[in-house]
Amino acid sequence: MQVSGRADHTIRVYAERSDAGSTELALAFDELREGDVTIAQPGLTLVADPQTVSIAEHRAIDYGTDGFTFTVNPGCESHLFNE
């Protein structure tokens, strides 16, 4: 992936509280931080803090007409990130 002159990108998976009080997962471009766990693919690295990793367990990131979404998938790997 080549965008804005950068050869690779770091995307953070993070949890935030919605106005309704529920916890929602989201994505944003970011930098690797101390204590993060990662999934690295050529040109793309997903990062998250350990608490978000536990929230994101059994979730899959999908892309469709509504953009990126997180779906519950009990059959997916329980260790999404490498520690």
Residue 62 forms part of a structural domain: yes
- Residue 25's Cβ-side half-sphere holds a number of Cα atoms within 13 Å equal to 23
Q: How many structural domains is the chain composed of?
A: 1
Calculate mean pLDDT across residues 17-39: 92
| CATH value at residue 52 | 2.60.300.12
Tens of pLDDT, residue by residue over 16-26, are 998 998 889 99
Residue 82 forms part of a structural domain: no
Residue 11's pLDDT is what? 93
Residue 15's pLDDT is what? 93
Question: pTM score, two decimals?
Answer: 0.73
Residue 81 forms part of a structural domain: no
Segments forming the whole domain that contains residue 62: 9-72
